[in-house]
């Protein structure tokens, strides 16, 4: 990809990792200092073998936010011409499902399994509309965008909610495939009980945060230009 910035000038521009969405990234309130996703990502970037790296981490995700909050987060994104390359990651949708649950969706009476599935399909379609709109907005801002699935190994998660998560994750994976977007599948990254915070089991613990930070770093490092601060 060609850029207007020449190589000599680009050497002095940092790369940027932008974290958008909800408390999956903004999990500092649920862990000790230095154990959040963004802090552990910064630690990875600053490891001795990455001493030449000039990469900035911007945490714009906010605990409790849903898909409708993403436009507000995007307003805080710094101009891309300040960076050699921007990498954006979004983890969003879990709180939308919590909203559906709170509204009584999973407690609605149904005479048959078919009726229940019909209700869930309506919820999935509503989620799909919101998710595609969110991706449209994100892709208009970022060339390098990675989406995350919603993890489902939360301790004591009811089976009904686990099944509902399958429907929402199907939307995420399908939209990512249609748009050829890379995916961090948090269902496999955070797959152990220790990955969830004791103070709030729906949030990443320090162990889960470490796994997520590592996955983000590896995803960025695949392009082989992080650590050099040069776009090609």
DSSP sequence for 31-48 = S-TT-SHHHHHHHHHTSG
Which CATH number is 7-221 given? 3.40.50.1110
pTM of structure: 0.86
- 30-62 pLDDT, tens digit per residue, is 999 999 999 999 999 986 555 445 899 999 999
The residue-averaged pLDDT of 178-207 equals: 96
pLDDT of residue 83: 93
The residue-averaged pLDDT of 201-218 equals: 97
Question: Where do the structural domains in the chain lie, given as residue ranges?
Answer: 7-221
CA-CA distance, 61 to 24, in Å (whole number)?
8
């Amino acid at each position: 990809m060609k850029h207007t910035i020449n190589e000599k000038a680009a050497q002095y521009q940092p790369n940027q990792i932008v974290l958008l969405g909800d408390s999956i990234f903004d999990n500092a309130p649920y862990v000790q200092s230095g154990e959040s996703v963004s802090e552990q990502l910064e630690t990875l970037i600053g490891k001795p073998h990455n001493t030449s790296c000039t990469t900035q981490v911007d945490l714009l995700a906010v605990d409790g936010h849903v898909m409708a909050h993403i436009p507000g987060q995007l307003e805080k994104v710094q101009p891309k011409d300040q960076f050699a390359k921007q990498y954006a990651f979004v983890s969003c949708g879990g709180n939308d499902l919590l909203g559906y649950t709170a509204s009584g969706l999973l407690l609605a009476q149904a005479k048959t399994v078919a009726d229940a599935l019909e209700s869930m399909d309506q919820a999935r379609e509503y989620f799909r509309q919101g998710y595609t709109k969110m991706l449209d907005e994100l892709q208009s801002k970022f060339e390098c965008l990675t989406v995350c699935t919603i993890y489902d190994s939360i301790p004591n998660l009811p089976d009904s909610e686990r099944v509902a998560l399958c429907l929402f994750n199907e939307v995420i994976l399908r939209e990512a495939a249609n748009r050829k977007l890379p995916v961090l599948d948090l269902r496999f990254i955070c797959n152990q009980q220790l990955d969830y915070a004791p103070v709030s089991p729906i949030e990443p613990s320090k162990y889960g945060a470490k796994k997520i930070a590592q996955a983000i770093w590896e995803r960025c490092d695949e392009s082989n230009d992080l650590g050099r601060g040069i776009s090609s």
